[in-house]
Structure 1
Amino acid sequence: MSFSRSVAAHYDEKGPIVWLAFFLESVAALTLFGLMLVTCFDVGGRYFLGNALDGATELTEIGLAILVFAEMPVITWRSGHVIVDILDRMLSSVAIRILGLLSALIISGSFSVLGIQIYKLAERSLRRDEITELLQLPTGYIITFIAIMSWLTAATMISYGVYQQLSNSRRA
């Protein structure tokens, strides 16, 4: 089985979205593997060698940011977020679809604004050459990654979230 067929067999997405999902999940998986190695070396060094891994906390913070924000667009595209449906039994199906559409618009708008604000912080961080305290890693690139993933999450929410609400209204 070819690599393309293997990816297509394991992903429900179609077209270029399947490769974006594969890439982002690969980034998240490699980051999680890296976090596991950092934790193992840190704990092993602390208990067996009497010396913890320098910068383990910084690497863990950066790794968690990459992990969370790399998965956010994929989870949004797959509608994997927690949905609270307390009022669904009391509202009509039309009202539920309108609220779903409104929430998709609000969430995508919020992520767009969040991305803009985070990108401003990234620009400032790069302009000031801000670095982490112990490992001296530039923070602006990680903040830029977070901004880009926020924009990508907004795009997936506005495109697929709105599409789902409109396609659900045609079926109902």
Structure 2
Amino acid sequence: MAFSAWLSMHYEEKGPVVWLAFFLELIAAVTLFFLMALTCADVFGRYFLGNAVDGATEMTEMGIAILVFAEMPVITWRGGHVVVDILDRMLGNTLIKILGLFSALLISTSLYFLATRIFQLAERSLRRDEVTEFLEMPVGYIVEYIAFMSWATAALMITYGVYRLLVQSRN
């Protein structure tokens, strides 16, 4: 089986977005594997060798940021967020669609402005040469990554999120 056939069989996205989703999930998977290996090495070193991995806490914090923000656009694209639909049976479909569109607009706008502020903080961090406490790794690059992925999530929420909401409401 060709890789592209496997990809189309396991991913619901179409076109170039399937490759983007695969790439982001690959980043998340590799990061998760790295975190697992780091934790195993840290625990093994701590209990059997009497010495933990230097900077394991900082690497874990950065790894979690990479993992979470790599998956955020994919989850948004797929509409995988938690939704409370207690009142859906009492409200009409038109009102639910309007509230869903308002929600997508509100979330994407909030994410856009939040990402803009995060990017400003990243620039300030890079200007000041802020580094992590133990490993002395630059903090600004991770913060910039968080801003870019938040912008991507905002764009996906307003584009495909609204499209999906409109198409699903017809079915």
TM-score range, shorter chain: over 0.9
What SS does structure 2 have at the residue aligned with 1:51? Answer: coil
Whole-Å Cα distance in 2 between the matches of residues 165 and 2 of structure 1? Answer: 32
State the match for 2:85 in structure 1: 85
2:98 is matched by which residue type in structure 1?
I
1:92-146 deviation per Cα after TM superposition (whole angstroms, max 9, x unaligned):
1111110000000000001101110110011111111111000111111110110
Whole-Å Cα distance in 2 between the matches of residues 154 and 146 of structure 1? Answer: 12
TM-score, with length taken from structure 1: 0.96
TM-score, with length taken from structure 2: 0.97
1:54-92 deviation per Cα after TM superposition (whole angstroms, max 9, x unaligned):
101001100000000000000000001100011112211
State the match for 1:62 in structure 2: 62
1:21-74 deviation per Cα after TM superposition (whole angstroms, max 9, x unaligned):
000000000000000011001000000001111101001100000000000000
Q: Shift of residue 166 of structure 1?
A: 2.2
User: Does residue 158 of structure 2 align to residue 158 of structure 1?
Assistant: yes
Cα RMSD after superposing both structures: 1.0
Report percent identity of matched pairs.
68
Whole-Å Cα distance in 2 between the matches of residues 48 and 145 of structure 1? Answer: 36
List runs of 5+ in structure 1 lacking aligned partners: none
Whole-Å Cα distance in 2 between the matches of residues 90 and 49 of structure 1? Answer: 62
State the match for 1:76 in structure 2: 76
State the match for 2:128 in structure 1: 128
List runs of 5+ in structure 2 lacking aligned partners: none
1:139 is matched by which residue type in structure 2?
V
Q: How does 1:1-172 map to 2 (within 5 A)?
A: 1-169=1-169, 171=170
Q: Shift of residue 165 of structure 1?
A: 2.4
> Once superposed, which parts of structure 1, at least 4 consecutive aligned residues long, lie more than 6 Å away?
none
Whole-Å Cα distance in 2 between the matches of residues 13 and 162 of structure 1? Answer: 15
Q: Shift of residue 8 of structure 1?
A: 1.8
Aligned length: 171
